[in-house]
Amino acid sequence: MILFMLWVHEVHMVVSAHKVCRDCAKQISVCRSISKSLAFDQSKMQQIKLQQRSDIRFCVRSGLDQKQTIARLQAIYGQVTFSQPTVHRWWTRFHAGEADIQDQPCPGAVLKRTADKVAEVKNFVENDQRTSLREVAHFCDVSKSTAHTIVRKDLGKKKHPAKWVPHNLTQLNKDTHVQKATQALQLFR
């Protein structure tokens, strides 16, 4: 949230051609001081989240209600305290008997870029370099965007008008292109 506020105010500064209102200037200085003092990075934020969840679980087991829990967290963590809805959600979970402070895995689409699928797409493209992404997606049972990602990022290939070729040309490929281009120029002179 703090980093988001900092980003919003920096965008506001850019949009207003660096004419910053007093409120924005105050919030920017507060956001910068907080972010510098806490040195936000993913591992530290994850650690703070787990500590707060553990403290919420302790408060529930101690018999404190939600308002007392929020007040206690604000006294301990200050600006980095969970929002009230987040404290409410975790307090309710722990009050219902849940003991795990880790996040539950998020439901979502199944990952289609497995090593087997990458190998299958690689074999398919190498067997027929004139194939289209739609055909790759259909025969390998992946979406068109997944097929595109596998071909471009994992296999490093690029579609030329007729066939898939390596995206990064070797020095031999470059020299061959230069030689053929020179021959073509000599034909038309």
- Among the listed ranges 39-48, 50-59, 128-137, which one has the minimum average pLDDT value? 39-48
Greater pLDDT, 160 or 155? 155
Other Cβ atoms less than 10 A from the Cβ of 163: the count is: 12
Distance CA 112, CA 96 (A): 36
Distance CA 145, CA 142 (A): 8
The pLDDT-based confidence of 164 (bands split at 50, 70, 90) is low
List phi, psi (to 5°) of 96.
-80, -5
Residue reference for tokens 């963590």: 77
AA identity, residue 186: Q
Element (H, E) at 158: strand 157-159
45-53 mean pLDDT: 86
Cβ atoms of 151 and 126 closer than 8 Å:
no
Distance CA 141, CA 156 (A): 20
Cβ atoms of 55 and 73 closer than 8 Å:
yes
Other Cβ atoms less than 10 A from the Cβ of 137: the count is: 19
Most confident region among 23-27, 132-136, 153-157 by mean pLDDT: 132-136
Please tell me the predicted confidence (pLDDT) of residue 179.
92
Beta bridge mates, 166: 157
158-170 mean pLDDT: 69
> Taking the CA atoms of the chain, what radius of gyration do you get in angstroms?
28
Please tell me the predicted confidence (pLDDT) of residue 42.
65
**Which tens digits make up the pLDDT trace of 167-184?**
677 888 889 889 998 998
**Is pLDDT at 108 greater than 70 in this prediction?**
no
- Among the listed ranges 43-57, 72-86, 93-107, which one has the minimum average pLDDT value? 93-107
What percentage of the chain exceeds 90 in pLDDT?
Answer: 10
Distance CA 167, CA 152 (A): 8
CATH architecture for the domain at 115-181:
Orthogonal Bundle (1.10)
**Which tens digits make up the pLDDT trace of 65-94?**
989 998 998 888 888 888 899 999 989 989
User: How far does Cα 11 stand from its chain's mean position?
Assistant: 21
pTM of this structure: 0.41
136-153 mean pLDDT: 88
| Alpha helices for the chain (secondary structure H) | 2-15, 22-38, 42-62, 66-77, 84-95, 115-127, 133-140, 144-149, 171-187
